[in-house]
Amino acid sequence: MKQILILTSLFIAFSSFGQKTSNILLKNGFLHVGNGETIESALIGIKDGKIELIKNSLAYTYTASEWDTVIDLKGQHVYPGFVAPNSTLGITEIDAVRATRDYDEVGLFNPHVRSQIAFNVESKVISTVRTNGVLISQATPRGGIISGTSAIMKLDGWNWEDATISPNDGIHLNWPSSISGGGWWAEPAPKSKNKDYDKQKDRISNFFEMASAYANTTKNEKKEARLEAMRACFNGDKRVYIHADELQQLLDAIEFAKHFKLKSPVIVGGYDAHLITAQLVDAEIPVMIVRPHSLPENEEDDIDLPYKLASLLQKGGVSFCIQNQGDMEAMNARNIPFLAGTAKAYGLTEEEAIRAVSLSSCEILGIDAKYGSVEKGKSATLFVSKGNALDMRTNNVTLSLIDGKFVNLENSQSILYKKYSKKYQ
């Protein structure tokens, strides 16, 4: 048996990362479970990649011989692995280099295009994101009316097959904008009604009518790849992520989901969702809210509306999580913890903010049975930070596990930091 009392000596005990130790016991850590609960001094027992023991170390005596490795966290914070939903992480490397962008296919209706097989586990961007505690990502295609089918991936593995949690979790529908114009923040322009909005909606409805009819027919002589990919959307095996922000878009998306009896619709964006919380609750539609670090969209909006949107939805009873779509979204996935920190500063409690980037994300993605919280029976996908992980000043990840495997926390940036720090010593 190896008993390791000082955290930094852990890495000497393993010849390489990515290896799974049968029995691991983490003790004396401040556990943020992910479901709103905390344990000030926790014992976390891990066997064969799963969490087998959660106890208060002050009230439970463990047998050291049961564990191959015992790690004393000495009061450090333990969190479930954070999630980056609706992200191009792993399917793009350098935004300015077209050859590294593998998230946008030609055509308008591409439900059959799958992001799973494009996921690059060797991405250097991924290694920088793991450093801040983000361990799961939803690799999401872009472009067109239906961009394609996303996949939920672990941010470590030998290849895309090894990294896959859910290969085809849902299609992504880009709802047409009900308004046009507006310019941008440096050159604002007046907005006007989109005259083609009804035609664009009808185009989507016609495709879904055709897909629904196809799904209800088992004797299709000729298989149609696009419609085959839509089949699972109508029986609930596949989610329909509707990307929409404006009030009119959201109201129409709710009616659309009801009309086609979609079993698992999700709103992505939801900038105006705080205006219709009752409708969203009644329809049981969750929201992946717009990135909190954003500017207000309308002149009459509160300047801090994106910051407090999470709090407004929380008060309205809407199920939500936080996502980071926007400029340089792949590399900025590392800021997911700090987006939650902003939401905390604008109305959420600390545990509610943690839930918004862990368990709530996994519930919306449909993987909460295994991931999203540090609970008995779930995957040992978690990380340890010396300080508060939601604060960029104190987020300092010292240990990370995905499915019970230790993850290498070094990346190209930390290597260069160490290299040039020595130059001036």
Which amino acid, residue 232? A
Number of other residues whose CB lies within 10 A of the CB of residue 321 = 27
At 185, is the pLDDT very low, low, confident or very high (cuts 50, 70, 90)?
low
Q: Phi first, then psi: give them for residue 99, nearest 5 degrees.
A: -65, -20
Question: What token pair was written down for 108?
Answer: 């308008």
Q: Which CATH architecture has domain 2-80+386-411?
A: Roll (2.30)
What are the helix and strand counts (H, E) for the chain?
Answer: 11, 19
At 154, is the pLDDT very low, low, confident or very high (cuts 50, 70, 90)?
very high
Q: Based on the number of CB atoms within 10 Å of its own CB, is 345 exposed (0-12), middle (13-18) or buried (19 or more)?
A: middle
Question: What token pair was written down for 401?
Answer: 């596990």
* Overall size of the chain counted in residues: 425
Residue 8 has pLDDT above 60, yes or no: no
Q: Considering only residues 7 and 254, tell me which one the structure prediction assigns the higher pLDDT.
A: 254
Give CA–CA dist 383/398, Å, rounded: 8
Q: Phi first, then psi: give them for residue 416, nearest 5 degrees.
A: -65, -35
Give the per-residue pLDDT at 53.
94
Residue 12 has pLDDT above 60, yes or no: no
State which H helix or E strand residue 4 sits in: strand 2-4
Give CA–CA dist 334/156, Å, rounded: 15
Give the per-residue pLDDT at 7.
42
Buried b (16+ CB within 10 A) or exposed e, 210-235: ebbebbeeeeeeeeeebbebbbbbbe
% of residues, the chain, pLDDT over 90: 70
**How many Cα atoms sit within 13 Å of 15 on the Cβ side?**
0
From start to end of 368-412, where are the E strands? 382-385, 397-402, 405-406
Buried b (16+ CB within 10 A) or exposed e, 46-56: bbebebbbbbe
Q: Considering only residues 225 and 312, tell me which one the structure prediction assigns the higher pLDDT.
A: 312
Chain-wide mean pLDDT for the chain?
Answer: 89
What does the pLDDT look like over 403-425, one tens digit per residue? 999 999 988 888 888 889 888 77
Q: Considering only residues 277 and 18, tell me which one the structure prediction assigns the higher pLDDT.
A: 277
Residue 15 has pLDDT above 70, yes or no: no
Residue 124 three-state SS? helix
Give CA–CA dist 347/421, Å, rounded: 39
Cα separation of the two ends of the chain: 39
Averaged pLDDT for residues 288-302: 89
At 14, is the pLDDT very low, low, confident or very high (cuts 50, 70, 90)?
very low
**CATH code for the part of the protein at 82-371:** 3.20.20.140
Give the per-residue pLDDT at 54.
95
Q: Where are the domains of the chain?
A: 2-80+386-411, 82-371
Give the per-residue pLDDT at 220.
67
What does the pLDDT look like over 85-132, one tens digit per residue? 999 998 888 877 777 777 788 889 999 999 999 999 999 999 999 999
Q: Scanning the structure block, which residue is given the tokens 């914070």? A: 77
Give CA–CA dist 373/363, Å, rounded: 10
Residue 158 has pLDDT above 70, yes or no: yes
Give CA–CA dist 232/242, Å, rounded: 16
